[in-house]
Amino acid sequence: MSRRMKLQISRRTFVVLGVASVASWAAPSARAQATAFDHSHAAWNALLKKHVVVIAGGRASQLRYAGMATDRAALKAYLDSLSAVSAAAFKGYSKAQQMAFLINAYNAYTVELILTRYPRLDSIKDLGNLLQSPWKRKYIALLGNTVSLDGIEHDRLRARGRYDDPRIHFAVNCASVGCPPLREEAFTAERLAAQLDEQAQRFMSDRSRNRWNTSKQRLEVSKIFDWYGEDFTLGHQGIASAAAFYARHADRLADAPADRDRIRAQTAPVSYLDYDWALNDAPR
């Protein structure tokens, strides 16, 4: 073999080895990016602890949007960390990690949406128009797509066969007084079940949203159960209907033993209360 041919082979070998070396260096970096997300959601947790005001004995909350506006750079940094997660990385998360991720994303991006016009609005509905509701606006960079709040809630959290957990309706917050309270901490996989249970208990204990009407002898509940009643028929925690869910919370809905018994028997008539879309802004 001539010296020239040996040099050509040597160069090709060097190039191949060099490419392999770069690939082996890049692969761990990609894997590291996939696992680098902070599942404690510490940045969002800090913002919530600073700006959420718990009221009504823990049954409701308000948010200091003015404070969030001051800390908007920190909020955007957290949103950027959510947007940096790839669809492939998300797929590798546990179900609890996925749910916590999506619930926190929904709530944080809702706050960001409010801040785009705050304080010049009275309701999140002010951010919509006749052609598009604020929940259908695609402004969220998430998991490789540009999605809406509805995309997070309905296409992912409520997708049949994925989580089938109606408690999400007590966790996602639509920036309105009628909503279940915005939790004063981030949702995390390790505590998700307990957090969701507590959110349900808080909401069902709030007599301004769910209550037994003694004079009319009927149960009056949030419109959430009208809009999403089918989500309570999926058998989560052995519950097969909204009525069965009310029965589980009878002690929170009524005071008199006879009224509680009627709720537990699932024989009481039910009506839905008007939803209060006023902004859940804490007084300044």
What pLDDT digit, counting tens, does each position of 114-168 carry? Answer: 999 999 999 999 999 988 999 999 999 999 999 999 999 999 999 999 999 999 9
Task: Delimit the domains of the chain by residue range.
Answer: 36-207
Predicted pLDDT of residue 16: 39
C-alpha to C-alpha distance for 82 and 72, rounded to whole angstroms: 15
Question: What six digits make up the tokens of 281?
Answer: 């802004």
Mean pLDDT rounded to a whole number for the chain: 91
Low-confidence ranges of the chain (pLDDT < 50): 3, 5-10, 12-30, 33-34
d(CA 49, CA 257): 38
pLDDT, residue 284, reads 82
Sheet holding 218-221, edge to edge: 211-213, 218-221, 270-272
HEC secondary structure over 115-162: HCCCCCCCEHHHHCCCCCCHHHCCCEEECCEEECHHHHHHHHHCCCCC
pLDDT digits (tens, 9 = 90+) for 174-188: 999 999 999 999 999
What CA–CA distance (Å, rounded) separates 170 from 258? 27
How crowded is residue 32: how many other Cβ atoms within 10 Å of its Cβ? 9
Beta strands in the chain (DSSP E): 52-55, 60-63, 140-142, 145-147, 211-213, 218-221, 270-272
Q: What angle do CA 113, 60, 277 make, to 5 degrees?
A: 45
Contacts (Cβ under 8 Å, ≥6 apart) of 272: 220, 221, 222, 223, 225, 226
Maximum CA extent, the chain = 105
- Can you give the pLDDT at residue 131? 87
**Which pLDDT score is estimated for 30?**
40
pLDDT at 1: 53
Burial of 137 (0-12, 13-18, 19+ CB in 10 A): middle
Q: What DSSP state is assigned to residue 255? A: S
Phi, psi of 20 (to 5 degrees): -60, -40
CA 74, CA 210: separation in Å to the nearest integer? 35
For 12, the token pair is 């090709």
Position 28 scores a pLDDT of 38
* Gap between the Cα atoms of 68 and 111, Å rounded: 8
At 112, list the tokens: 């960001």
